[in-house]
């Protein structure tokens, strides 16, 4: 299991970073969408510059990789803890990866 570091606050409303998960080096783009009726954080994942998954909502308890036709070697991403807000992302909740 690997915990993927996420940062809260308006200064971090648009994050981009890479993370090695198993044999994959993935780029994560995390954006806070304040213009929605209910603001939310969304996650896009890229491998070798190509999108793997786009628009995954960071919802508490969600197995974010379920229901998508993702490569088997990506593993599972699970968002755990409190519902994500602008100010509590990565503090009261966490994104964790489990190998396939």
* Cα 91 to Cα 11: distance, rounded to the nearest angstrom: 15
* Structural domain harbouring 14: 2-98
Question: What's the predicted TM-score (pTM) here?
Answer: 0.91
Q: pLDDT above 70 covers what percent of the chain?
A: 100
Structural domain count of the chain: 1
For residues 37-47, give the mean pLDDT: 93
- Give the torsion sign (CA, 69, 76, 81, 54): negative
Residue 65 near residue 22 (C-beta atoms within 8 A): no
Residue 20 near residue 27 (C-beta atoms within 8 A): no
For residues 47-74, give the mean pLDDT: 87
């Amino acid at each position: 299991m690997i915990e993927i570091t996420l940062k809260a606050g308006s200064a971090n409303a648009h994050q981009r970073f890479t993370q090695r998960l198993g044999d994959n080096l993935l780029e994560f783009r995390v954006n806070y969408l304040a213009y929605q009726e209910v603001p939310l954080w969304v996650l896009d994942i890229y491998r070798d510059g190509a999108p793997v998954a786009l628009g995954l909502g960071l919802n508490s308890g969600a197995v974010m990789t379920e229901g998508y036709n993702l490569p088997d070697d990506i593993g599972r991403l699970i968002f755990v803890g409190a519902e994500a807000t602008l100010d509590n992302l990565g503090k009261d909740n966490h994104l964790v990866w489990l190998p396939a």
